[in-house]
Amino acid sequence: MLNKLITLVIIVLFITGCNSEVSKSKNRTLDISYHVNKKDSIQPSYQVAIWLENPNGTYVKTLFVSEYLSYGGFFIPTICPDWTVKACWDKVTKEEFDAATGATPLVGDRNFEFNCFEKQIPVGKYKYMIEVHIIEDFNELYTGEIEIADEEDESEARVTYLPEKQPKAYDILSQVKIKYNK
């Protein structure tokens, strides 16, 4: 009888411990925030794609893509060209499409929270990419590195201008930050 009781206690502790670990992993998030700046000199398209790559630059997953871009804008080679080349968006499943597509971010503060469990983002080091289309063939690519692990992490992005700074409207985004919360 004592052996059965000890076995039962061990099983309960094991299950409780495992469920606690699973619930912790279900609460991990990537929080991405930035400010979309208003540009009076031109009317930018503000089309945005947010995705992850592994450290060697291999595409992993699209986290967010604005509606116009997701519904066919990706066929226009000058709109978010880095994402377009890597994502192969014309081949994604309906579930992937629905999970990542959202309204085009408007001027002001934008905050995205991506649940790592729901988005199937495993522990590891990643490069994050945020590409925003301005106008014509001008785009900006905001990049940084983040680690999803036992410790929380945060990063501020660097910007690259593609093919160069748009003379009338550059730095479409500001205060670009990403934080991993466990």
Following DSSP, what letter does each residue of 20-76 receive, concatenated?
HHHHHHHT-EEEEEEEEPP-SSS-----EEEEEE-TTS-EEEEEEEEHHHHTTGGGS
Q: What is the CA radius of gyration of the chain?
A: 20
Per-residue pLDDT band at 1 (split at 50, 70, 90): low
Is 21 a member of any domain? no
Is 6 a member of any domain? no
* Per-residue model confidence as pLDDT tens digits over 48-94: 999 999 999 999 999 999 999 999 999 999 999 999 999 999 999 99
Is 60 a member of any domain? yes
d(CA 133, CA 82): 11
Is 24 a member of any domain? no
Is 22 a member of any domain? no
31 - beta bridge partners? 113, 179
- Please tell me the predicted confidence (pLDDT) of residue 112: 96
* Per-residue model confidence as pLDDT tens digits over 124-138: 999 999 999 999 999
Is 167 a member of any domain? yes
Asked whether residue 44 carries a pLDDT value surpassing 50, the answer given is: yes
Place of tokens 């495992």: 18
Is 41 a member of any domain? yes
Domain membership of residue 112 as a residue range: 29-181
Domains identified in the chain, total number: 1
pTM for this prediction: 0.85
Give the pLDDT mean for 31-55: 96
Is 19 a member of any domain? no
Confirm if 119 and 27 have CB atoms less than 8 A apart: no
